[in-house]
Amino acid sequence: MAVLQDRHNREVHPEWRTQGYAYYRAVWIECAELLDHFGWKWWKRQDANLEQVRLEVVDIWHFGLSDLLRAGAVDEALAERMRARSAPCAGGSPGERGGDLRAAVEALALSTLGRRAFDVDAFVDLMNIVPMSLDELHDAYIGKNVLNSFRQAHGYRDGSYVKTWGGREDNEHLSELAAKLDASLPSYPEDLKAALEARYAALT
């Protein structure tokens, strides 16, 4: 994942490590977006969109991983630390674990804002409550990385990219297409890219 993130960041800017990008800010903004998908408004009915919640977890990881890479903190010790802390909760409906999930999101955002740096432990705690395993994070990350590169190749930076295809956001198309493919195959990234290309061409 670190190699793919570095490659994507270079697509955004070849010297991304020295640009002073506020990855910590992107992390807490993504935390807010995650809560919007899960639901937090007590004055109206909201149904949790768990697939989008999981995609927001992946978006948080993109920015968190970038922050860690820039700090030179990505190594085997980090991987082992995450493995040791990973213990996805079993069972329970979104409503039953909603309070814990919201608190975990807020804990990650608070720590990130206070330190102006990514908090790996708080992130894994959030994953545990979603719940989401490290293997699931990896597979979802690969898919979102493909989409991010796809966006860059189709004009994301200059504003020409069309994010809504046939009335639905590209993230939704990503989830649908990824579910039809085998993430364990070496060809998965290319297969997914080809599927995105075909869908984008047909709907935009």
Residue 128, φ and ψ in degrees, nearest 5: -60, -35
pLDDT of 91: 65
Across the range 178-182, mean pLDDT stands at 92
Same domain, 94 and 181: no
Domain boundary residue among 118, 136, 154? 136
Confidence of residue 96 (pLDDT cuts 50, 70, 90): low
pTM tops 0.85: yes
| Cβ neighbours of 84 (radius 10 Å) | 9
Both 48 and 94 in one domain: the answer is: yes
Domain residues for the domain of 107 are 1-136
Indicate the residue among 136, 152, 175 that finishes a domain: 136
Q: Are residues 7 and 46 part of one domain?
A: yes
Distance CA(133)–CA(131), nearest Å, equals 7
Q: Please state, in angstroms and rounded to a whole number, the distance separating the CA atoms of residues 125 and 20.
A: 27
Are residue 117 and residue 161 in the same domain, yes or no? no
The CATH number for 84's domain is 1.10.4010.10
Residues 193 and 122 in one domain: no
Identify whether residues 131 and 165 lie together within a single domain.
no
Tell me how many degrees the CA angle 176-103-178 measures, rounded to the nearest 5.
10
Name the domain count of the chain.
Answer: 2
Nearest to 74 by CA among 5, 25, 142: 5
Please give the C-alpha separations between residue 51 and each of 3, 171, 179, in angstroms, as whole numbers.
Answer: 25, 10, 11
